[in-house]
Amino acid sequence: MSSLAVKDRPGRLRKEPSGGRSPRRWPGWLTGWAFVFPAVALFAVMGAYTIGSGLALSFAKWNGFTPTWNWVGVQNYLDLLYADPVLAPELRRAGWNTLQVMIAVPLLTVVISLPLAVALNSVRRLRGVLRSVYFLPYVTTGVAIYFAWRYVLEPDGAINTLLRSLGLGTLSQPQGFLGNPSTALPTLILVLVWSSVPVATLLYLSGLQAIDPHLFEAAQIDGAAPRHVLRRVIWPLLRPITAVIVLLGVRDTLHGFQIFLVMTNGGPGGHTDALALMAYRLSFFKGLAQTLGLASALGWLLFAGAVLLTLVNARMLRRVQ
Amino acid sequence: MGSVRKRALGAAVALVVGVVVAGCGGGAEEQQGGEQTLKMWTFKKSHADALNKVAAQFKSETGITVSVEAVTPDDVFVSKVQSAAQTGGLPDVLEVHAGGEDLEMGASGLLQDLQGDVDATWKQRLLPTTQESGVMTQQRIDDAASDSPFKSTKAGQRFSVGFTAGAFGIVYANKDKLQAAGLDPNTPPKTWEEFLAALKATTGKDSQQGGLSLGLKVSQTGYNWVYQPLAHAYLGKDRFHALFAKGAAQGFASPDGVKTLDVFSRLTPYWMPGSTTLGIDEADIAFAQGKSAFDVGGTFTLAFLAQNGLTPDKVLTFPIPPSADGVNKEISMSPLALTGLGVTATTKNRAAAVKWLDWLTSPKGAGAVAKESLDLPATDLGADAESLLGADLAALQKYFTGPPESAYDAADVSFFPSDYDQVKPGDLMVRLSPLQEVSPQQAGTELDKIMGSMWKATE
């Protein structure tokens, strides 16, 4: 390889004959393109084409089968936002639910994972075992675990049984925690928090280990209590990581629909409907009606929301650094 | 160095060519030694198993090999067909939902017109109410939105042939629980009020496991399987249709509509705990496991219950009973085609595919499939029904007949808006019962708004 490199270098200094590439050099040029072609093609098809096609589809009506699309301009966006008397209220309700989840999940994740990371960072014995235990939900999370949670939360599930056996029957839910409109969404939020805490804890742990231990010692010498160390030293230094955790939580909430689909399907009575679930439903559960364009438009609205939140997050990051 | 470069170039070109060839290879026709091979997709696993079994018999008679693949659940089936339609990878035959999906696919150019193949003799084999399933009507075309693919079709085009048939709104009762509650396990309730009294007795005996199970996680089940037949019997056909009419002069918020919603909402105390969190199959399984005394499903539910350990001799079946205060004092469920068979537009084996459809809808083929799948066929099996389906499944057919005015025909969609979507009224019905978030009057007003917006979408 090195001889090839050395041999080629002088060639670069030679002046190219007018009229284009040397006939002797084009195979090399072609070789390069042949190697990068799969990657370029993959990006062109899976990236550029898909994005462009999705954007175009958001301005059309299509059921996924007809050879042609019916162009409707921005009507899909208008229908979603206010024009359609059925879709617009559905979007607002799903948006309100999504907003609640978007705020609650990152907030609770930070509130739980930061103290947990600090505690795990300070323990000396069984540190590895404890970290594994707390990381377990992330390893096992997914569709299967949502089904498991459903069994735990149903009327005769483990949580109701436990509450009744502890004499706390008044806290049990006769219709199950997912069957009661007032507990369904909070329950989904808690399951989402349960699955997001491990990664957040891991990020905080890595951040804690990067902090100079002398800072802690200095604070302790100055008489700072542990809560003051957490508030005045650790929290400011970990703020960039907090911003990342919040952004990840917001992103997951905006795009994730599996938990809503598997655990409640948006029910009971639409009380846990979310924007991503609505997009999924518009795509595949409309009896072949021409709603793929609406689904795409909703996807782009979510994308716009995600970009906006990313910009806000980037601004926050710049401010704290 | 030149040879190295050539080898590298050769490898890169071979890789690219290989990728391209592999990418284009999926849709290749399988023809081995002149033997015809058909591919078929269905969205029902039980049907795929049964069809693959009977395919051997079909091959021995015709020499045509058929390979059937189940693509489940429904949303995955739809997305796979969508993808295959774009990439030219459709199979030769599709089993699709009858009554809408078949017409959508046909109108979109995915299924061929079988009008010339399905002649009068072929149609005569089918149950009377399933003979025109899969056929585009002028009313469907007229009612469709201006940009609907239906507008490009012609009345009379046939995009599928009825394959399986049945009816929704069949109640299953656990005989042991009826007996334990002091009820006669062999006498079905004749009226809605008697049904509610039976529910009161079973939930009185066992409040946790004596109720009614239904997969309300799929919210339209309560609306479609219970409310609609109940309201149809209560109001009679014309006033029932008026509930959905454009303008809602006699809509759901009218005294008629509110009364029917009120009658339906009397179920509220008797739902099985957690019924809003259960899917359709999960509710059936809960019933089979003894977690409820009653279950609402369709004729197809009996086989599923048997698969889950509740044998037909342990259940009492009856259609949703009519209210004593209503117009119709009896109710019968017109059997509708639940699924249909279509030949894809891209098949290169049209003749063989039509032959396969012909065989499957013949008494012989339909009987063989029915025996394997325990699903009622759209083909009239006549006197062989009991021997092929078993006495219990065949007995369900007695609910298919009754006075014409009392027959509830779920396949009649002529009075709905063309973009009718059951999920929205279904959600509202769940909020009425069991959630009790809206009163019958409020539910009626909301339902009128929903219907109004669907009519608006067709303009």
Return the exposure string of B181-219: e unless at least 16 CB atoms fall within 10 Å of the residue's CB, then b: bebebeebbebbbebbebbebbbebbeebbbbbbbbbbb
Cβ of residue A285 closer than 8 Å to a chain B Cβ:
yes
Each residue's pLDDT tens digit, B136-147: 999 888 877 777
Residue from B5, B437, B429, B436 nearest B450 by CA: B429
Tokens of B336: 């509708």
Does A117 score more than 60 pLDDT?
yes
If one compares B95 and A67, the residue with the highest pLDDT of the two is B95
The most distant pair of C-alpha atoms in chain A lies apart, rounded to whole Å, by 92
Does A7 score more than 50 pLDDT?
no
Does A5 score more than 50 pLDDT?
no
Domains B34-166+335-380 and B168-333+415-457 share a fold: yes
Give the pLDDT confidence score for residue B8 in this predicted structure: 53
B98, HSE (Cβ side, Cα atoms, 13 Å):
28
Residues near B304 by Cβ (< 8 Å), separated by ≥ 6? B281, B284, B297
Burial (CB count <10 Å: 0-12, 13-18, 19+), residue B107 = buried
The C-alpha R_g of chain B, in whole angstroms, comes to: 25
Does A207 score more than 80 pLDDT?
yes
Give percent of chain B with pLDDT exceeding 90: 56
Does A65 score more than 90 pLDDT?
no
A123 phi-psi bin (left φ>0, alpha ψ -120 to 50, beta other): beta
Mutate one of A78, A86, A264 to test the B interface: name it (highest B CB count within 10 A).
A86
To the nearest whole number, what is the mean pLDDT of chain A?
Answer: 84
Find the CB nearest A289 among B1, B82, B419: B419
The residue in chain A having the minimum alpha-carbon distance to the alpha carbon of residue B86 is A65
Find the CB nearest A27 among B9, B78, B421: B9
Mean pLDDT, residues B176-181 taken together? 96
When pLDDT is cut at 50, 70 and 90, the band that residue B437 belongs to is: very high
* A 173-212 residues with CB < 8 A to B: 174-176, 178-179, 181
Contact between B453 and A84 under an 8 Å Cβ cutoff? The reply is: yes
Mean pLDDT, residues A16-37 taken together? 70
The residue in chain A having the minimum alpha-carbon distance to the alpha carbon of residue B8 is A31
Does B25 score more than 80 pLDDT?
no
A145-149, B278-282, B388-392: the lowest-pLDDT one = B388-392
Residue from B342, B272, B332, B335 nearest B300 by CA: B335
- Alpha-carbon distance values, B242 to B103, B256, B260, B439, B454 (Å): 25, 10, 13, 21, 15
Each residue's pLDDT tens digit, B96-127: 999 888 998 999 889 999 999 999 999 999 98
In chain B, where the domains are located:
34-166+335-380, 168-333+415-457
Residue by residue, DSSP assigns A249-293 as HHHHHHH--HHHHHHTTT-STTTT--HHHHHHHHHHSSTT-S-HH
Give the pLDDT confidence score for residue B302 in this predicted structure: 86
- pTM higher than the cut 0.80: no
Rounded to the nearest angstrom, the minimum Cα separation between B241 and chain A is 21
Q: Which helix (H) or strand (E) holds B329?
A: none
- Alpha-carbon distance values, B198 to A32, A139, B195 (Å): 79, 48, 5
A86, B437: Cβ pair inside 8 Å? no
A181, B19: Cβ pair inside 8 Å? no
Mean pLDDT, residues B184-211 taken together? 95
Chain B residue numbers touching A28 (CB-CB < 8 A): 5
A66-80, A231-245, B28-42, B296-310: the lowest-pLDDT one = B28-42
Give the pLDDT confidence score for residue A21 in this predicted structure: 52
Q: Cα-flanking dihedrals φ and ψ of residue B166, to 5°?
A: 170, -165
Give the pLDDT confidence score for residue B9 in this predicted structure: 53
Give the pLDDT confidence score for residue B7 in this predicted structure: 58
Topology annotation, domain B34-166+335-380: D-Maltodextrin-Binding Protein; domain 2 (3.40.190)
A61, B147: Cβ pair inside 8 Å? yes
For B167-252, where are the E strands, in sequence order? 168-174, 212-213
Each residue's pLDDT tens digit, B310-334: 988 899 999 999 999 999 988 888 8
Contact between A105 and A192 under an 8 Å Cβ cutoff? The reply is: yes
Tokens of A78: 């208008």
Topology annotation, domain A76-320: MetI-like fold (1.10.3720)
Give the pLDDT confidence score for residue A6 in this predicted structure: 39
Does A200 score more than 60 pLDDT?
yes
Does B65 score more than 90 pLDDT?
yes
A85, B421: Cβ pair inside 8 Å? no
To the nearest whole number, what is the mean pLDDT of chain B?
Answer: 87
Mean pLDDT, residues A262-269 taken together? 89
Alpha helices in A64-212 (DSSP H): 75-78, 87-122, 127-140, 143-153, 158-165, 181-210
Does B6 score more than 70 pLDDT?
no
Give percent of chain B with pLDDT exceeding 70: 92
Mutate one of A183, A284, A288 to test the B interface: name it (highest B CB count within 10 A).
A288
Does A15 score more than 80 pLDDT?
no
Mutate one of B277, B447, B450 to test the A interface: name it (highest A CB count within 10 A).
B277
Give the pLDDT confidence score for residue B348 in this predicted structure: 93
Mutate one of B276, B422, B430 to test the A interface: name it (highest A CB count within 10 A).
B276
The most distant pair of C-alpha atoms in chain B lies apart, rounded to whole Å, by 95
Give the pLDDT confidence score for residue B5 in this predicted structure: 57
If one compares B248 and A32, the residue with the highest pLDDT of the two is A32
B15-19, B285-289, B316-320, B399-403: the lowest-pLDDT one = B15-19
The residue in chain A having the minimum alpha-carbon distance to the alpha carbon of residue B433 is A269
Does CATH place domain B168-333+415-457 in 3.20.20.120?
no
Residue with tokens 């009057």: B441
Give the pLDDT confidence score for residue B185 in this predicted structure: 94
Find the CB nearest A86 among B19, B75, B453: B453
Residue from B33, B3, B440 nearest B243 by CA: B440
